[in-house]
Structures are given as structure tokens and as C-alpha cells.
Amino acid sequence: MAELEAGTATAPRRSRPLSPHLQTYRLTLTMLMSIVHRITGSALYFGMLLLAWWLIAAAAGPNAYANFEWFVGSWIGRLVLFGYTWALLHHMLGGIRHLIWDTLHGLEPADREMLTLATVIGSVALTLVVWVIGYLAMGGPR
Amino acid sequence: MNAPHSNAPQMRTAASRVRGLGAARAGTMDFWHQRVTAVAGIVLTIALIVIALSLLGRSHAAVVQILGSPLVAIIMLLFIFNSAYHMWIGMQEIILDYVHADKYKFLSLMANTFYAIAVGLACAFAILKLSFGV
């Protein structure tokens, strides 16, 4: 009777592959950078407003452009621009990593963690390089 | 056979009418286009950073002249349209993953389309104005 009830109430259970569930798998760098890729993508999505502001201000005239320059020259503007630079470069390197994975290379546990670590180190290093070049181009921090 | 275009009341479900016709062959289109725009995005992002660095500290007049010059303007337009399409697909994927209630799902999908087109067009218009003057 108990067996019959169990049989009718639930279908026979098969073990199915699990998605990277947080209660099943410990957090790895690959998992963390998976969501960071989405977060940086979303940040860049809204960051397009900054690009639009820059271009529209340049097209509108000197006064509008001065307002934009004032914003990116302020500490909060610098912070936003620094974050935008990092998000852009990290999303680009993460994208390259995804394109490598699309070719079925670098998917072994050690390889994918190494590739992922490379995107983190690479994005931070490239961001600093771009900002150093930027400050040099402007003749030192202002 | 069923006659989908007759005026008679339909008893068949939509699924039963299309079953056996095969795939619409568009199932992987977003996936593929996201890869195409990603590859283009690598080159265009590097180009954008180089352009932005070269404009640092310059006067408004110089910025207008450089952004409006043909080669820079073309690269900027390519970056803008490529990014607008890439981010439209990406945000759609995020919405489809996280927003399940129909009302909010379709509203946010619509908002995504409006935003991507509006911001892309605004950037492109600015570049065109810088290029052609007025």
C-alpha cells in the first residue's frame, strides 16, 4: 500500500545534472566571475549613458562639454570612470575567455580556474596601465 | 488536414498545428549574434580606449574636430551599434533568466529594446552631428 502510494504520488527519481547550486558546490573563482561578467555587463549597459553624455555634450557645444568635463574631473566622476574602465576591460577579457571555452578549450577544472584568474589579474593590470597612460597624457594628476 | 486560415473555430491547439514542421531555425540566433558582436567588440573596445586616451586634456574644439573626423567617427559608430546590439541581447538574457512573471517580463523586455535603441541612436546622432556640423 505504501509502495503504491509512493508510485502514484511521485515519478521515479533519476539523478539529474545539477546547475552550479550554491548549496551543492563550494564557491569557486569561475563561479564568482560568471556572475561578475553579468554584473559588469549590466554596469556597462547603464554606462552607455556616460558615453552618450560625453558625445552629446561634445556635439552640443563648449558649455555642455564643460559640464561633462567638470563631472569626470570631480572625484566621483573619476571613480565612475575608473569603474567603467575596469568593467569594460574585465567584460572584454571575460568575453575572450568565453570565446575560448566556446572552442571547447580550457574547460578542465585547473585550466578554467587559471583562465579565470588571468581575467581578474589582466583586467586590473590593464586598467592601471590605461590610467597611467591617461595621467601621463594629461601631464600628471590634476 | 487542419486548415489554419479558415474562419471555422479552431479546436486544435497552437502546439498541435506546428508539431512536425521542424524548428524555426532561429533558436540559436541570439547566441550566435552575441558571439559575433563579442568578437567585433574586442577590436572596437581597444579602439575606443585609444581614441579616449588621445582626447584627454584637449579643448572642446579639438575634441569636436577629432571625433568628427571620418576614421574616428566610423570607428565610434561601429562601437555604438555593436555595443547597443550586444547589450540588448545580454540584458534580454538576464531578464529571461530572472524575471518570470509575464507582466514584468514583457514590460522589462520592451524597456530593454527602447533603451538600447534610444541610447544607440543618441550616441550615433551626436557622432553624425560632429561629423557633418550644423
Q: Please provide residue A107's backbone torsions phi and psi, each rounded to the nearest 5 degrees.
A: -100, -10
Q: How much is the pLDDT for A12?
A: 62
Query: B6 lies in a domain?
Result: no
Query: B98 lies in a domain?
Result: yes
Instruction: Answer yes or no: are the C-beta atoms of A96 and A37 closer than 8 Å.
Output: no
Residue with cell string 500500500:
A1
- How far CA A142 is from CA of A75, A94, A132, B66, in Å, comes to 11, 32, 13, 23
Query: B14 lies in a domain?
Result: no
| CATH code assigned at B59 | 1.20.1300.10
Query: B36 lies in a domain?
Result: yes
The boundaries of the domain holding residue B107 are 29-132
Instruction: Answer yes or no: are the C-beta atoms of A59 and B131 closer than 8 Å.
Output: no
Instruction: Answer yes or no: are the C-beta atoms of A45 and B90 closer than 8 Å.
Output: yes
Instruction: Answer yes or no: are the C-beta atoms of B87 and A44 closer than 8 Å.
Output: yes
Q: List the one residue out of A76, A71, A73, A86 whose CA is nearest residue A130.
A: A86
Query: B40 lies in a domain?
Result: yes
Q: How much is the pLDDT for B96?
A: 94
How many domains in chain B? 1
d(CA B23, nearest CA chain A) in Å = 23
Q: Which of B60, B81, B95 to mutate to test the interface with A (most CBs of A within 10 A)?
A: B60
Grid coordinates given for A132 = 597611467
Query: B56 lies in a domain?
Result: yes
Q: CB of A132 within 8 Å of any CB in chain B?
A: no
- How far CA B65 is from CA of A96, B40, B41, B61, B62, in Å, comes to 33, 26, 25, 6, 5
Residue B25's pLDDT band, with cuts at 50, 70 and 90, is confident
Mean pLDDT of B61-78: 97
Asked whether the beta carbons of residue B123 and residue A102 sit closer than 8 angstroms, the reply is no
Query: B83 lies in a domain?
Result: yes
| Per-domain boundaries in chain A | 27-137
Mean pLDDT of A76-99: 97
ipTM of the complex: 0.83
Second-level CATH architecture of A27-137: Up-down Bundle (1.20)
